[in-house]
Amino acid sequence: MKIGIFFFDLFIFMQNFFFVQPEVSKDFVNCKHCFFQDTPPYLNGLTEQNSVQICQRHRLLNRYFFAINYNSVHRIPYYSAYLIDSFDKGGKRDSFWYLEPQLAGTDPSFHPHIVKDNNQQIYKDSQALNEDYRASGYDRGHLNPSFYHNETKQARQVTNSLTNVAPQVRDFNKGIWNKLEISLYNAMNDSCNFAGAKRYFITGAVPSSGTTISNGRVNVPDYFWTAMCCDSSGANEPSKKMMGWSAAFIGGNIDNSSIYVYTIEDFLNFLAKLLFSSHPKLFADYYIGETKIRNCLFNQTQASTMVNGIIRDNDRFENKSLFN
Ligand SMILES: *[C@@H]1O[C@H](CO)[C@@H](O)[C@H](O)[C@H]1NC(C)=O
Ligand SMILES: *[C@@H]1O[C@H](CO)[C@@H](O)[C@H](O)[C@H]1NC(C)=O
Ligand SMILES: *[C@@H]1O[C@H](CO)[C@@H](O)[C@H](O)[C@H]1NC(C)=O
Ligand SMILES: *[C@@H]1O[C@H](CO)[C@@H](O)[C@H](O)[C@H]1NC(C)=O
Ligand SMILES: *[C@@H]1O[C@H](CO)[C@@H](O)[C@H](O)[C@H]1NC(C)=O
């Protein structure tokens, strides 16, 4: 029996060994396409500290799937940036977790591998390991959700990097945060599923000042937030070019949490106070002739319609500020 399990593990190990290939890429040079207007967010006072920029690639497809800004001291991501590429259904979640050997500054050509590998102690300094979470009572909460990527197995696999997760209260992860992820997915499917549309997300974790797991190794965030942008600038049909919209959402990492709903503009003011950041920016300005589109807000009417629809999805999606 034991031998059987060993060979099964070995088989899975071999299968996954070469596949998920993240790459430390200064300023996200290789995955700028993960950001609206190819422009990463500007969160000054925050993300320049202990920040490592990772482009998530899958070796089999040789393509960059998403971007992670990782805090190597708190050992959680500042944020993950990703798109919904398609609304295809089907597919299973990958059940393995991955590490990013390159964060340890080891040979950059060294292949990443799954967490079961015995060498994981080598990577311990620069990132969280599976064992940090195991007895912690917290979930490994995905920032870039696996289920947004039902199009391919590889697209789901890359979300299972331990650099794409942070300790999340189980009730929050399985409860209201999951409901939010589903609502946003459906809202994008309803409103942003036309030829040429792009669906950008940035999901972040706000570190706590001292709550940790695993003897202080991994920070337990106070909040999880997500900002979304339906980019209609590339719409094939001229009548759809101004149908884009945006919104932001934040919830406390606690039992029975609520989700607070914002415009990006209001959320940036809130974020500035929360993160002591001046003039933060999530989505770059975009010009159509003389018209400046700020915060990916192409169409205010459409934004209000969609956001009000989301708020009605759940009693705990709150149409007010977190601190009022
Ligand atoms: C997306 O919307 C279409 C049309 O409303 C619907 O038929 C389809 O099931 C939705 N897809 C998903 C994955 O929910
Ligand atoms: C993705 O596939 C899984 C497994 O088949 C399914 O449970 C889930 O509902 C799908 N998600 C979407 C958004 O279609
Ligand atoms: C969460 O809600 C449940 C059901 O309403 C309640 O039993 C529980 O005490 C609440 N927990 C907290 C921490 O408020
Ligand atoms: C903005 O969106 C509304 C639907 O919410 C639509 O009726 C209107 O035509 C859009 N405006 C532009 C300029 O496309
Ligand atoms: C949310 O608040 C705005 C402004 O106060 C209001 O116009 C809108 O109707 C509210 N939405 C819902 C679903 O209550």
Summarised one tens digit per residue, pLDDT across range 12-67 is 443 444 455 566 677 899 899 999 999 999 987 666 678 889 888 776 677 889 99
Give the E-state strand segments of 92-182 in sequence order: 139-142, 165-168
Helix (H, G, I), strand (E, B) or coil at 157: helix
Longest CA–CA span in the chain (Å) reads: 70
Q: Within a domain: residue 72?
A: yes
Query: In whole angstroms, what is the distance from residue 99 CA to residue 183 CA?
Result: 30
Question: 255 CB less than 6 Å from ligand 3?
Answer: yes
CA–centroid distance, residue 167 to ligand 3 (Å): 20
What's the confidence (pLDDT) of residue 229?
A: 98
Closest Cα to atom 13 of ligand 1: 87
Asked if residue 5 belongs to a domain, the reply is no
Mutate which of 256, 258, 316 for ligand 3 pocket (most atoms within 8 A of beta carbon): 256
**Ligand (nearest to CA of 86):** 1
Residue nearest to atom 11 of ligand 5 (CA): 308
H-state helical runs in the chain? 2-17, 130-134, 153-157, 170-174, 176-191, 264-275, 300-312
Give a yes or no: residue 3 inside a domain: no
How many structural domains are present in the chain?
1
pLDDT at position 17, please? 41
Examine the pLDDT at 71 and tell me if it is beyond 60.
yes
For 228-250, the pLDDT digits (tens) are 999 999 999 999 999 999 999 99
Looking up residue 287, the CATH number of its domain turns out to be: 3.40.570.10
Residue 9 covered by a domain: no
- On whether residue 107 sits in a domain, the answer given is yes
Going by C-alpha positions, the residue among 229, 233, 228 that lies closest to residue 196 is 233
Establish if 103 belongs to a structural domain: yes
Specify the pLDDT at position 113: 42
Q: Does some domain include residue 6?
A: no
**Could you give the CA distance from residue 222 to residue 259 in angstroms, rounded to a whole number?**
13
Ligand 5 pocket test, pick from 183, 261, 311, 321 with the greatest ligand atom count within 8 Å of Cβ, gives 311
Pocket of ligand 1 (CB under 6 A): 87, 89, 189
Residue 13 in domain = no
Domain enclosing residue 82, as ranges: 20-319
Cα 147 to its chain centre, rounded Å, is 12
pTM to 2 decimals? 0.90
